[in-house]
Structure 1
């Protein structure tokens, strides 16, 4: 068995090397070697990581990384990186989101290299890898936020765009602290069942229901370039979204989304966001629990996966500087469909990043 795995990884290493600098990169024609697809493409002197195709390497084999991409320890040399933040200590209801990144990676083995809907070819234009998980403190949420903030400062300093797998929605706060340090106040496309703008919950100001209140207080968001899509459910007051609107946010309650395509909405959102930096934060509970039951605070009558894809594809052309997919809770995801949906939505995010190649 040891020899089998050693030979597999040698074959994979020969097919997809991680990662060479632009000075080391060389232009070679695509070839099939050892039963795996070897693709060495040159664009502006760069060489790209290409996941092994399931045509030649079984999906069930190998160590689970996001989309079966190579793993590396840092974001150095990467255009985009998948990174996990495995916490649920900010959760107010069902726990389990700390296992979200791990399960998303497992289900992501089904992903392929090209987006058949948009014809995006992310691995022909961006250097992408899985850089593992942030080393969180599961006993101390404030310390975890500090660790996340410091880790994302390092990621962003390399010029890499982080694609984050949560973890509960608390993580958006320290991530946006790091993002705003680099880019200044950013626009926000926030897809969620909940506004996450509470001030204090059970005496605490940091949790998964408060991140965007904290972000506004610290000037991390350009409030005229914030849209919240899919909000719904019962509330603690007659108008649960009054505070959001008072800040200048555009609030799109789920009732405005029922029975329709969201492509026209996203045309308006792109105009609202303009050319400035934008962060995309997608809580899986934005989707109806009939589609995504594996989450901590499900709300009925939500968005469909089709609408979720429309929202993300509608971000094409925006100056995206970071994205996250949060609140996948595998203990409540008995079929794996929630994590599988999350993996596909993350792939869609990758496919709308700046400088994407489309056929």
Structure 2
């Protein structure tokens, strides 16, 4: 069977969607993302959600290793129709939960290699991946996997911090260094790199100088406040063009009022509404993958952060499902 014949055959099979909430209450049953089927329960997947319970790269508060489970629990209330994007993502693409990528918590180099190999396997056969962390260290191996498939990718990085520092306590691989390593490895398209939502004190002005040298443009949280979502989206879309785009979201891009459950909170951040509206403005872009990281449930009273992260992941899945439908159509 040729690849085109296989695609036609898959398109003729209706996707398997989430558990019916009218038959099984949302607080019952397995806690897969959005109560979707597991990857081993479907014949193929167009979009997969995977967890990476790893936080050995953090520099302050640990706990993001429990993020994937927390976000899955918070996703129980997600429903199959996304009115903001006018799409039923689970009807137009087969979406499945791939479970967690098990990594060595005591060896960061081995963990990075394991994540990269698992991501390469998951995204073969035109499958897109949304990853739930875990700390931001995991972005580097995920970008390596994306670049193997698509070549150097454009990056939109939502974060309170730059994450382009060189080392921390002499360590080259931490949650504050992934994008410097990615630039050095040539896996990012340096004509289309953007930080969004940055704020707070830095170690020195050289941090910003290094960042510009790597090719990053910066949209601060203050820029979002003064310019508004629409202007920010327009600027990002102009910068990204038709390039393959990877979106990496540290949940601390949100103000601690909207995301207290994270390892390195900073005052003055975005609202969850602003983040979701910016993501929805990416409709039609060549989105190829995404991650949502740094959810630390130990600090997340009332599940505020988990709910925000679940909705962010849901919109990312919706955008990737729409992209799949466009390519298949």
| 1:304 maps to which of 271, 279, 286 | 271
Higher relative contact order (CA 8 A, sep 6+): 2
Pair 1:102-2:79 in alignment:
no
Tell me what 2:224 maps to: 257
Describe the SS at the equivalent of 1:296.
coil
Give the structure-2-normalised TM-score: 0.93
Deviation string 1:89-143 (CA, Å, 9 cap, x unpaired) is 0000000000000000001001000112221111121111001000111111111
- Work out the CA distance in 2 between the residues paired with 1:355 and 1:158: 12
Name the count of aligned residue pairs: 319
- Work out the CA distance in 2 between the residues paired with 1:74 and 1:320: 26
Pair 1:50-2:17 in alignment:
yes
Tell me what 1:93 maps to: 60
- The 8 Å contact of residues 84 and 280 in structure 2, kept in 1 or not, is answered as no
- Work out the CA distance in 2 between the residues paired with 1:165 and 1:75: 21
- Work out the CA distance in 1 between the residues paired with 2:252 and 2:13: 38
Shift in CA distance, 197/173, structure 1 to aligned 2, threshold 3 Å: same
Shift in CA distance, 119/219, structure 1 to aligned 2, threshold 3 Å: same
Return 5+ residue gaps in structure 1 as ranges.
1-20, 26-43
- Work out the CA distance in 1 between the residues paired with 2:41 and 2:146: 17
Rg bigger for which structure? 1
Following TM superposition, by how much is the alpha carbon of 1:260 offset from its aligned partner in structure 2, in angstroms?
A: 5.0
- The 8 Å contact of residues 22 and 46 in structure 1, kept in 2 or not, is answered as no
- Work out the CA distance in 2 between the residues paired with 1:218 and 1:174: 11
User: Which has more helix, going by share of residues?
Assistant: 2
- Work out the CA distance in 1 between the residues paired with 2:225 and 2:7: 48
- The 8 Å contact of residues 75 and 160 in structure 1, kept in 2 or not, is answered as no
Pair 1:67-2:34 in alignment:
yes
- The 8 Å contact of residues 75 and 131 in structure 1, kept in 2 or not, is answered as no
Return 5+ residue gaps in structure 2 as ranges.
1-5
Shift in CA distance, 195/127, structure 1 to aligned 2, threshold 3 Å: same
Tell me what 2:136 maps to: 169
Following TM superposition, by how much is the alpha carbon of 1:201 offset from its aligned partner in structure 2, in angstroms?
A: 0.5
Over the aligned positions, Cα root-mean-square deviation in angstroms equals 1.8
- Work out the CA distance in 2 between the residues paired with 1:73 and 1:139: 29
Tell me what 2:290 maps to: 323
- The 8 Å contact of residues 194 and 231 in structure 1, kept in 2 or not, is answered as yes
- The 8 Å contact of residues 97 and 168 in structure 1, kept in 2 or not, is answered as yes
Tell me what 1:204 maps to: 171
Pair 1:128-2:72 in alignment:
no
- Work out the CA distance in 2 between the residues paired with 1:57 and 1:156: 31
Following TM superposition, by how much is the alpha carbon of 1:239 offset from its aligned partner in structure 2, in angstroms?
A: 5.2
Shift in CA distance, 59/199, structure 1 to aligned 2, threshold 3 Å: same
- Work out the CA distance in 2 between the residues paired with 1:115 and 1:155: 25
Pair 1:284-2:275 in alignment:
no
- Work out the CA distance in 1 between the residues paired with 2:103 and 2:38: 19
Deviation string 1:145-191 (CA, Å, 9 cap, x unpaired) is 01001001111222110000000000000111111111110000110
Tell me what 1:33 maps to: none
